[in-house]
Amino acid sequence: MIQYIVILLDDTSVSFCLYPNKEQERRLMPLDTLKASILYAMKENLNVQFVYPDYPLPAEYEAAIECIDHVKIKPLVVSDGADVVVLDGMEEAELLVRKGAKYATSYVLRIDKDSLFAQSSLIVTILNKVARLNIVITDLERFSNADFDAYKLWLQDINKSVASLYVNGKSPQLNLLTDRMMLDGMNNCGAGDTCLTLAPDGNFYVCPAFYLSEDGYSVGSLHNGLDVRNPQLYRLDHAPICRHCDAYQCKRCIWLNRKLTLEVNTPSHEQCVVAHLERNESRNLMQTLRRYGEFLPDKEEIKEISYLDPYDMRNEWNNQ
């Protein structure tokens, strides 16, 4: 059941996830479409996330937006009043450190793998200043075996710093490490199942990536209503591998699934291995923190596993 709606206010609205947005020509959502989308969200009792471009909106748009409870997702250059600020690469991350972060604001850092591996210290500096940091690795599909090894070492390095912060009384949230410790079930993006996107053209899409991709497709419109074909394919219970998995923090990106495996409900090898490296390091972090005292006493230990790609377990799971 749909619970969330992402409203892209412009074709150039900032990307806050894996997909790139290469649009440079501004196309602001018509004001009438914005008002209709807000009315739709009210009628359907949906949680609304507005995604902003890199320029200030007209006053009448801001007035309409304030008619409904919402979350504002903004790029760093227009981040005043944002609930979530997107940092596009290390230059913007460094700029954030120089300008000063707001502790109560959540931050999303979109970064390629090589830049990430080279910047452990900057990540730790940001974690010292904010309550939550989500890291999105934008070229995840390009991971090689050597990159998996490098990522494992990077996670181990960050793990030590995060553990030190917790021991010294701080509790930063880093999606790659701390989310799995808190979860009891899958917490994926939910595109096509619990979350939909409304684009400036007035059409619904599974997520922003399906609007911005050349081979994307709409799933209805404000005028004609929703038309999600084969909606069961977006659900966890119809994902043959994911429904058995306990890498609960994995995004299970529908767009990346379709791009790499041609199936929206089947993840790629790269996505699975990366998620399980994070899962295993979360296990190590939880064990470390519990050596210093009581930590998440109601949460079970994350069990040890012998695989990184759950596809390797398909025969065993099929026999259960």
* 41 falls within a domain: yes
**pLDDT tens figures, 243-269:** 989 999 999 999 999 999 999 999 999
Least confident of 22-26, 34-38, 215-219, 312-316: 312-316
Residue 320 has pLDDT above 80, yes or no: no
Question: What's the distance, Cα to Cα, between the start and end of the chain in Å?
Answer: 28
Work out how many domains the chain is built from and give that number.
1
* 235 falls within a domain: no
Q: pLDDT at position 240, please?
A: 87
- Overall average pLDDT of the 37-52 stretch: 97
Range of the domain at 127: 4-187
Residues 6+ apart with CB under 8 A from 223: 202
Contact 165, 128 (CB under 8 A): yes
Q: What is the largest CA-CA distance in the chain?
A: 60
Q: How far is CA 202 from CA 32, 187, 250, in A?
A: 10, 28, 30
173 CB neighbour count, 10 Å cutoff: 16
* Mean pLDDT, rounded, of the chain: 94
- Report the C-alpha gap between 126 and 101 in whole angstroms: 8
* 179 falls within a domain: yes
**pLDDT tens figures, 134-166:** 999 999 999 999 999 999 999 999 999 999 999
* 292 falls within a domain: no
**pLDDT tens figures, 166-178:** 999 999 999 999 9
* 13 falls within a domain: yes
- Report the C-alpha gap between 116 and 118 in whole angstroms: 5
* 136 falls within a domain: yes
